[in-house]
Amino acid sequence: MDLKKKLKTSKEFSPQMKQPQREKEIQIWKDSVHRIRTNQ
pLDDT, one tens digit per residue, over 1-40 is 576 666 665 566 555 556 677 888 889 999 999 998 888 6
23 residue type, one letter: E
40 residue type, one letter: Q
pLDDT at 30: 93
pLDDT at 16: 57
pLDDT at 37: 87
pLDDT at 32: 93
Q: How far apart are CA 13 and CA 27, in angstroms?
A: 21
